[in-house]
Amino acid sequence: YNTMKNSIFGDCIQTVFLCLFPDKDIIYICPFSGALKGKVFITNYRLYFKSSDADSAVMLNVPLGVICRVEKMGGASSRGENSYGLDITCKDMRNLRFALKQEGHSRRDIFEILFRYAFPVSHGLSLFAYLSQEKYEENGWNIYKPMEEFRRQGLPNDKWRISFINKSYELCDTYPTVLAVPYKATEEDLRKVATFRSRGRIPVLSWIHRENQAVIARCSQPLVGMSGKRNKDDERYLDLVREANGTSKLIIYDARPNVNAVANKATGGGYEGDEYQNAELIFLDIHNIHVMRESLKKLKDIVYPNVEESHWLSSLESTHWLEHIKLVLSGAIQVADKVSSGNSVVVHCSDGWDRTAQLTSLAMLMLDSHYRTLRGFQVLLEKEWISFGHKFASRIGHGDKNHADQDRSPIFVQFIDCVWQMTKQFPTAFEFNERLLLTILDHLYSCRFGTFLYNCESARDQHEVRLKTVSLWSLVNSSNDIYLNPFYTPESGRVLYPVASMRHLELWVSYYIRWNPRIRQQQQSPVEQRYKELLALRDEYLKKLEELELSDSPSSHLAHSSTSNTSLPAPSTPSQQYTHLQTPF
């Protein structure tokens, strides 16, 4: 199978492939083209199918990490055509069905192999990221250096210091090692506050506004409990956060709906009450992980395999998916608005790793144009999501067979959707394009890179992720031109407020409905294509003009070389001669 290996898989993964399931005739029941005969290969990274019918060439190339659930369909005595086989549920909005011959337990091998390698963690095996030996020019693990990022923000300064109290994860095992805290708070203060915050996730600085010094701080809920406990240290600590830029009132955004915050008291949590002087608490009404999971499930029901035909909009509304997007975005808008007008804010939800991460990172995306660059966005993800302990492993369930785990939830997908909504509304404000977002979501599941593995930094350290796996950013930054938005117009200093109204929010069709061939998948948007054609044409004309100049008067200088823009990859050279641009105006 060596030749097969190279021809099919030569594209990206350079590792030993186990050809576990060679050449067995199998039928892929494509929801769009019907039953297709073909061949399946399963490696320790992916499931590959190619239909043998040349007329309708259908190919599947599914990383095993995407698989959520594998089930047997039908039994040896099932009747009906193609009723015996496998049903595979994927995490990326699709299902795959394969039918096999009914005789001779033909599916036993494939089922067992899939089950084993799709869920390596449940079988005591290594995730594929540890087996991949990919090499890239750039080491993506270097993209985020906490101290560098703090320095970029102008920290430390006379109000905020960097603390290494958590260097061995003693203060909080789900926080990063390097924290920015109020200058006046002592290490002892931090320890005391940690006792009153759920899981020790104390308020720390995420971002500071360069001009007005207002900050976004994040944390988890205070442990108020049924009895309404108070903690002076916590109260004083929050007041230090407020004091740092002289804000008269600290705004605390609790991402949860009010009732949920109240309900949390029963389990020892709660929210900041009136005892917090100079603070105002605002609930942002964003629902919890379970609601989001069910919402996306409903969305899948109406788009896969077929897009709901009648009453599409009502069906879409009934999933509430876009409404949740609206809530998250509008929460982030409020945070960004407060901060840009000089108020420091504290954001938390229950544990401060789901909704909090969504809100702080989106607000930072609105406030700081650095995060809208290709590398800046990577930093944002590394910082607000990965280092602050969004529980990727629990939310995604990497390599875990327990598909019904209540901890799973598409919080990160929802965040990327929000980012996509922003790029849609501000098509020139982001250096990266949709392809980056799609790539991120693909590798959120694929387990090919170490980037999204594990729940927090301490776990990552323990499993030596940085040493033993490759970062997704290695892939991205080694071929970054395909992730660039040609329309990007850098603009610093401007706060980007998206419109969080249903009038503008739209379903991200090229993600959620991308498996449907009826939805035309354009490799490149027509606008982008046209722009690149024109850029190429401009360069061509400039070159021609230069040549003419040179040939006419050899002494003349190169007048235009400086205006020539060659940063973009030239699309295929226009075939027409330069004399007439086929472009009317």
Partner 1 sequence: MLSLGSGGGKSAKPSFVSYVTPEEINSEKDTPKEEKHPDLLPGEVVFCSASTVLKLTQDELSQRGTFGTLLCTNFRVSFISDEETGEETAPLFKNKLYGENDIPLSCVDNIYGGYEDKRKLVTGSQVKNKYPSKIIIHCKDLRVFQFALTFCKEEDAKRIFQGIVHHCLEPKSLKNIFAFSFCENTAFPGMLGNVCFTKLVHNMQQRTMMFDSAEDWAQDLKRTKGSCRLVTENANFGLSPNLPQYFIVPESVSEADMTLFQGKGLPIWCWSHHSGCALFKTSNLPLQQEDNVPQSYMEKMLTAVAHNYLYSVKTEDLSDTLPTVQDIQLSYSKFKQFFFIDSTTDFWVSDMKWFSSLDNCGWLDIIRSCLQKAMEVVECLEKENNNVLIMEDGGSDLCCVISSLAQLMLDSYYRTLQGFQSLVQKEWVAGGHNFLDRCNQLHLKDKENVSPVFLLFLECVWQLLQQYGPAFQFSETYLTVLSDSIHVPVFSTFLFNSQHHRASILRADSSHSQRGTLNCPTVWDWSVQFDCKAQQLFINPLYAEKPKLDKSMRRPHRPKHQRQLSLPSATFKTPPKKGFFKDETDSLKKILRVKRISRWMLSPDSPQPSSTSREFYEAWQRKPLDYHGLLLPCLDGPAVRIWMQRYLRWIQEVQIFGGGLVTVLSKVSDLLDEVQELQRQLDRHSSSLTSNHQRPRPRPISAETDSRLSVLLSSSFPFTTLKNNWSYKPAIPTGLLQSLMNSGNLADTEDDDQESLVRA
What is the footprint of partner 1 within residues 289-308 (CB under 8 A)?
A: 289-291, 294-295, 307-308
Nearer to partner 1, 86 or 299 (CB): 299
SS3 annotation, 346-414: EEECCCCCCHHHHHHHHHHHHHCHHHHCHHHHHHHHHHHHHHCCCCHHHHHCCCCCCCCCCCCCCHHHH
Give yes or no for residue 173 binding partner 1 (CB under 8 A): no
Q: Residue 301, annotated ligand binder?
A: no
Distance between first and last Cα of the chain:
56
Q: Which helix (H) or strand (E) holds 98?
A: strand 95-99
* Min separation Cβ 497 and partner 1, Å: 4
Q: Is 154 among the annotated ligand-binding positions?
A: no
In the range 498-527, which residues lie near partner 1 by CB under 8 A? 498-504, 506-507, 509, 513, 517-520, 526-527
CA 156 – CA 158 distance, rounded (Å)? 7
CA distances from 111 to 61, 95, 99, 126 (A): 17, 15, 12, 19
312 is a contact residue toward partner 1 (CB under 8 A): yes
Regarding 576 and contact with partner 1 (CB under 8 A), the answer is: yes
* Nearer to partner 1 among residue 112 and residue 547 (C-beta): 547
Query: What is the smallest separation between the CB atom of 327 and partner 1, expressed in angstroms?
Result: 6
Interface pattern 389-428 for partner 1 (x via CB under 8 A)? ------------------x-x---------------xxxx
Least Å distance, CB 260 to partner 1, is 4
Active-site residues, by number, are 349
Tokens of 272: 């900041």
Tell me the closest approach of the beta carbon of residue 486 to partner 1, in angstroms: 9
Q: Does 280 bind partner 1 (CB under 8 A)?
A: no
- Could you say whether residue 438 binds partner 1 (CB under 8 A)? no
Q: Give, as ranges, the residues between 59 and 78 that touch partner 1 (CB under 8 A).
A: none
Ramachandran class of 343: left when φ > 0, alpha when ψ lies in -120 to 50, beta otherwise = beta
Query: Which C-beta is closer to partner 1: that of 22 or that of 517?
Result: 517
Strands 46-51 and 59-63: antiparallel
Assign 3-class secondary structure to 475-523: HHHHCHHHHECCCCCCCCCCCCCCCCCCCCCCCCHHHHCCCCCCCCCCC
Binding residues among 205-264 for partner 1 as defined by CB under 8 A? 256-257, 259-261, 263-264
Site for partner 1 in 339-398 (CB under 8 A): 349-351, 353-354
Evaluate whether 223 touches 268 at the Cβ level (below 8 Å): yes
Answer yes or no: is 376 a known binding residue: no
Residue 541 binds partner 1 (CB under 8 A): yes
Structure tokens at 551: 């040939």
Annotated binding site: 288-289, 349-355
Annotated binding site for substrate: 288-289, 349-355
